[in-house]
Amino acid sequence: MEIIVTHLSADFDSFAGMVAAKKLFPEASIVLPTAINSNVRKFISLYEDELPLLVEAGDLDFKEVKKLIMIDTRLKEITFFAATMPAKESKSALRWVTIISINSGNFIVY
């Protein structure tokens, strides 16, 4: 399983980044953080039918995650994924892909 995640208290740029990443990684699922900006939450509820499928973190089996695509963050430790993943789960099988948004509209993939 491949998942797309972002930081806690997701704002519009991080949410838009996850939707854009879905275009680059069509097999990946967008996983909503446990905390989302209220305006983003309203936007999602208004346009839910127009958006790709969004998954709640609580619905994931973290043992199945093989690729983690992180949006709008520089450190793995500050994403909701690190905050919500049970400590006993093995992270060693993951292939980390980080996408950092840049103000010019470009992105860098590490």
Instruction: Report, as an integer, the average pLDDT of 31-37.
Output: 89
- Kindly indicate the confidence band of residue 71, based on its pLDDT and cuts at 50, 70 and 90: confident
| Maximum CA extent, the chain | 39
Tell if the pTM clears 0.85, that is, is over it.
Answer: no
List the one residue out of 100, 83, 97 whose CA is nearest residue 17.
100
| Tokens at 72, concatenated | 């709008």
What is the pLDDT at residue 96? 58
- Is the predicted pLDDT of residue 70 greater than 60, yes or no? yes
Average pLDDT, the chain: 76
- Is the predicted pLDDT of residue 31 greater than 90, yes or no? yes
- Kindly indicate the confidence band of residue 47, based on its pLDDT and cuts at 50, 70 and 90: very high
Q: Which residues contact 30 (CB under 8 A, 6 or more apart)?
A: 3, 4, 18, 19, 21, 22, 52, 53, 54, 55
